Structure 1
Amino acid sequence: CFPGSISGIEPYFPDPADWPAVRAAYEEGTRAEVARVLETVPAEDLTVQFDLAWELNDLSLGDEPVLPWSPAQRFAEKYERVSSSLPGLARAVPEDVRLGFHWCYGTAGGWPMTAMADMELCTLLSNSAVQLCARPVDYFHMPVLPDADDAFLAPLERLDVGDARVFLGLVHPGEAGGGVAAFEERVRRARRHLGEFGIAAVCGHGRDDPAQVDGILRLTRACVERFEELRAGRT
């Protein structure tokens, strides 16, 4: 999993004039790293995922800047900056390697760093990735808030991603997640807006308390088993 180029550059390079050159170097470095991994891991066994966290955080603020040195841009200009970064990331991944994008809400300070209003940004970015990337995108991962209602999920009806798979982050640990029963209700609600999808944890586990990881994985397994039962029509 690699950060998106904006996540990997803009928080650390405060002069926007440097960004184009650094982005070119970032994309070339990513290509080199993927090639290095392929020296050991067969292409059919490799998946490369790009994690766009600062990108989502920035877009969620509308016309407001995400960083003190961010250029003054309207939402449409921000969106163009973010969406135009996707093809360069995709070019780093050979077509015989699976490619995915994770539209990340962020875990710094606790998940979510940014609580999205709905699934609109995830939908827009997924559609743009399929349209702009020269190679196929194999999947998208989209987090879903634990209490997401129909209004939050409705933008999923506008997804147009061809054969790319969609994985919804519906597995939430802890008391707020409500266990398997609450997970099942989230699945049923999501199905009202998207007919076919896979399920996953809401985000990665890099910032989770190590003492809680075993329980999180057990919950995830239980949710996967229940999801398969629902898919098979065993309610």
Structure 2
Amino acid sequence: MSTGKSQVKGGVLLVGSVPGTDTEDVLRRMAPALGSRLKYIPDGETGQRNFFIGWQMYKFGAYPEVISQFGQNGKFEDTPVPEEKIREAAEKLEGLSTDYDTAALESYPVFKKLKEEGVIPKEVKFQVCLPSPLTFVSPFIVGDYKTAIEPVYERAILRALDNISKNIPEQELAIQWDVPLEFALLEGVWVQPWISPLKQGILDRWVKLTAAVSPAIDMGFHFCYGDIGHQHFTQPKDMGFMVDMAKELLGQTKRRVDYIHMPVPKDRDDAAYFASLKDLQAVRGETDIYLGLVHTDDMEGTQRRIKAASEVLNDFGVATECGWGRTSPEEIDSIVQILNAVSETNA
């Protein structure tokens, strides 16, 4: 087996979820394990947040009929809804709370305490991951309700963001937008497109989200192809969609994007998969790129993927493809070992 000599200078990104009993457990394990390789550290999304955004379904108690019969195979049984019911739902759900702010404001004091103790390096920021409204609404809201409920949920997410921003020091905070369903829509799988125009409609929504984040706060995007049962909703044929959307986002937003994360399947160490990254190199500016190319028990494969990516992209960081929420302790030990072996500190 390869020795795993350091190969990238861009550090490590933890995408979001990390198994643990609570925030303190996650931070006490991950901060020493990865140290100054991290610019940001999330709270692990423990407890009810363990299964990504599924917990948000229970925030719709005021009008539960809007929640779809969510199927992991992408089949949704939607029936026609009268217009008056749609209006009634939007009115009753206005003002709903996502509780993303509640979770962040409960976790931040733990982060602050551990930073004061020296457990978390002083330069590391507190990472809060939020779903784009499109990512929640697309699979979880019944078809005829989607158009009316999306702005309701968007306002709820932006209220949570505002509360987080007002109560956590801006210089200590990073916001990550999780956008998996956008790529399902673009790929034409799992969920049916319901916005038009599709590509520009997605970009308009992303630009609005970027504008809502204070310029003093670091902000990134997690481009995702899903991780239900450790499987993507479809295997990307290459990085084309991701690079195209990254270029368009960077070109259309007036606000800096501090980082973008993109997944790399385990079986892709070929030049064709990474080729389009060359187009991103020219326009990325100061945006950090993290490639999710680290896979459990695969040091040699990780190094092959790094080598292939390095042919077209300079100075990138490393990560896994997605969060670790349903990952075993043994798998996490392997991932952390590989992350340390193939990366350098941010110092």
With structure 2 as the length reference, what TM-score do the two structures score? 0.57
Partner-residue secondary structure (3-state), 1:152: helix
CA-to-partner distance for each residue in 1:163-187, whole Å, 9 max, x for gaps?
A: 211111121114xxx22x2222211
Structure 1 position 157 matched with structure 2 position 285? no
Task: After TM superposition, list the pairs within 5 Å mapping 1:1-235 onto structure 2.
Answer: 1-16=129-144, 18-19=146-147, 21-61=148-188, 66-67=190-191, 70-71=193-194, 77-148=197-268, 149-159=270-280, 160-174=283-297, 178-179=298-299, 181-210=300-329, 212-225=331-344
Structure 1 segments, 4+ long, off by >4 Å, are none
Change (3 A) 1:40 1:210: farther
Deviation at 1:151, TM superposition (A): 0.7
Cα RMSD for the two superposed structures: 2.3
Deviation at 1:17, TM superposition (A): 6.0
The answer on whether the counterparts of 2:243 and 2:279 sit within 8 Å (CA) in structure 1 is: yes
Q: Which runs of 5+ in 2 are unaligned?
A: 1-128
- Structure 2: how far apart are the matches of 1:54 and 1:84? 15
The answer on whether the counterparts of 2:296 and 2:331 sit within 8 Å (CA) in structure 1 is: no
- Structure 2: how far apart are the matches of 1:126 and 1:50? 13
Partner-residue secondary structure (3-state), 2:319: strand
Instruction: Point out the more displaced range, 79-88 or 150-159.
Output: 79-88
- Structure 1: how far apart are the matches of 2:131 and 2:287? 20
Q: Identity of counterpart residues, as a percentage? A: 28
- Structure 2: how far apart are the matches of 1:48 and 1:57? 22
- Structure 2: how far apart are the matches of 1:173 and 1:54? 25
Whichever residue aligns with residue 313 of structure 2, its letter is L
The answer on whether the counterparts of 2:130 and 2:178 sit within 8 Å (CA) in structure 1 is: yes
Instruction: Point out the more displaced range, 148-157 or 200-209.
Output: 200-209
Deviation at 1:188, TM superposition (A): 1.3
Partner-residue secondary structure (3-state), 2:149: helix
- Structure 2: how far apart are the matches of 1:128 and 1:7? 19
Change (3 A) 1:192 1:212: closer
Partner-residue secondary structure (3-state), 1:56: helix
Change (3 A) 1:203 1:67: closer
Change (3 A) 1:214 1:40: farther
Change (3 A) 1:128 1:72: closer
- Structure 1: how far apart are the matches of 2:213 and 2:144? 26
Instruction: Point out the more displaced range, 96-105 or 190-199.
Output: 190-199
Change (3 A) 1:97 1:6: same
Whichever residue aligns with residue 104 of structure 1, its letter is C
The answer on whether the counterparts of 1:30 and 1:92 sit within 8 Å (CA) in structure 2 is: no
The answer on whether the counterparts of 2:170 and 2:216 sit within 8 Å (CA) in structure 1 is: yes
Partner-residue secondary structure (3-state), 1:11: helix
Deviation at 1:162, TM superposition (A): 2.2
Partner-residue secondary structure (3-state), 2:292: strand
- Structure 2: how far apart are the matches of 1:55 and 1:38? 25
- Structure 1: how far apart are the matches of 2:212 and 2:328? 33
- Structure 1: how far apart are the matches of 2:168 and 2:333? 27
Equivalent residue pairs, number: 215
The answer on whether the counterparts of 1:16 and 1:71 sit within 8 Å (CA) in structure 2 is: no
Change (3 A) 1:17 1:220: same
CA-to-partner distance for each residue in 1:179-205, whole Å, 9 max, x for gaps?
A: 2x2222211111111122111222111
The answer on whether the counterparts of 2:132 and 2:177 sit within 8 Å (CA) in structure 1 is: yes
Whichever residue aligns with residue 295 of structure 2, its letter is H
Whichever residue aligns with residue 203 of structure 2, its letter is S
